[in-house]
Amino acid sequence: MTVALSNFSFVAMTYNLWGDYYLDDRRDALRALLTTRPPDLLAVQELKDSTRSLLDEALPGHDRVEDSFPGWEKQSNLWWRRDLFELLEHGAEDVGILSPDAALFWARLRPNAPELPDLLFSTAHLTWPGHPDERADLGNRRVTQARAVAEALERLAGDGPCLFTVDINDIGPPQWELGNASFLDSFTALGRHSPVTHPVVPTVATGSIGTRLSPLASPPKAIDWIFSRGPLAARCSEVVDFFHAGRAPSDHHPVAATYTFTRPQVMP
């Protein structure tokens, strides 16, 4: 079936910023990424006040959520091009993520095309498998978190256009929950598999390649995703391989995808 496309397309990006680890060594690379490839919509995880200020400077044509809830400064935030979208409302939903002030962060955005519906843009960073609670009982927290995310987005967006960006910290079960809730990632939508998003090699980190919990290196995996539901068509999707002066901006690759709003199908 041919999808009826509108004339409104935009680039969305999701990016785990790696907190402020080694920030002095990668600050220029992060700024270079966002000035070279500024997305129309940007969702981030592992945000700090220092990186939030850097992103504001690198994206002068964008607005972001301003809110007193600490998670918008210490966990995640959402940026959008002010000439393309207008903020209507925003919020942070508790979906059971085991980090202080972690949540499902969302913003309802109105496109600057009056015939188009509002877009629900959201992000989350699901619990790391090495969290002490998970290590204690080996229970996968991300499945119930993904289920709670899907339920919250169903309530917030209904059948309208919805983007959910995430560091999912897993390679199977939570993705299945989202897929069974009718969310489609930007690679599957185009008939392909995602390349690796973590870890970036090489990084500016020093020392051994083992993890905090094991001498084994972190295995290559795709854990950063953009999911969509509703009247949106993925046009292209990319794991962005970007270095500046030989340095990577983060230990994760950003994921960028281009979407177009779709129109109701007109029957002959």
Break the chain into its structural domains and give their ranges.
5-204+214-262
Closest to 93 (Cα-Cα) out of 155, 48, 19: 155
- The dihedral built from the CA positions of residue 232, 223, 52 and 36, taken in this order, carries a sign that is negative
Greater confidence (208 vs 22) lies with 22
Q: What is the mean pLDDT of the chain?
A: 96
CA distances from residue 217 to 192, 210, 254 in whole angstroms, order as listed: 27, 4, 21
Residue 36, C-beta contacts closer than 8 angstroms, at least 6 positions apart: 242
Is the pLDDT reported for residue 267 higher than 70? no
Is the pLDDT reported for residue 205 higher than 60? yes
Which pLDDT score, from 0 to 100, does residue 153 have?
Answer: 98
Closest to 118 (Cα-Cα) out of 147, 144, 80: 80
User: What CATH topology corresponds to 5-204+214-262?
Assistant: Deoxyribonuclease I; Chain A (3.60.10)
What proportion of the chain, given as a percentage, has pLDDT over 90? 94
Q: What are phi and psi of 258, to 5 degrees?
A: -100, 130
Which pLDDT score, from 0 to 100, does residue 197 have?
Answer: 98
Is the pLDDT reported for residue 86 higher than 90? yes
Greater confidence (205 vs 123) lies with 123
pLDDT in tens, 36-75: 999 999 999 999 999 999 999 999 999 999 999 999 999 9
Q: Which secondary-structure segment (H or E) carries 52?
A: helix 49-58
pLDDT band at 207; cut points 50, 70, 90: confident
Tell me the mean pLDDT in the region 144-161: 98
For the chain, the 3-state helix, strand and coil shares in percent, each to the nearest 5, are 25, 30, 45
What proportion of the chain, given as a percentage, has pLDDT over 70? 98
Three-state SS at 16: strand
Which pLDDT score, from 0 to 100, does residue 111 have?
Answer: 98
Closest to 62 (Cα-Cα) out of 44, 78, 82: 82
Three-state SS at 95: coil
Place of tokens 């999701």: 14
Which pLDDT score, from 0 to 100, does residue 6 have?
Answer: 94
DSSP secondary-structure letter at 59? -
Closest to 145 (Cα-Cα) out of 77, 99, 188: 99
Which pLDDT score, from 0 to 100, does residue 1 have?
Answer: 54
Is the pLDDT reported for residue 95 higher than 60? yes
Q: How many residues does the chain have?
A: 268
- The dihedral built from the CA positions of residue 141, 144, 147 and 153, taken in this order, carries a sign that is negative
Is the pLDDT reported for residue 78 higher than 60? yes
Beta pairing, strands 224-229 & 162-167: antiparallel
pLDDT band at 211; cut points 50, 70, 90: confident
pLDDT in tens, 188-197: 999 999 999 9
Tell me the mean pLDDT in the region 147-168: 98
Is the pLDDT reported for residue 134 higher than 90? yes
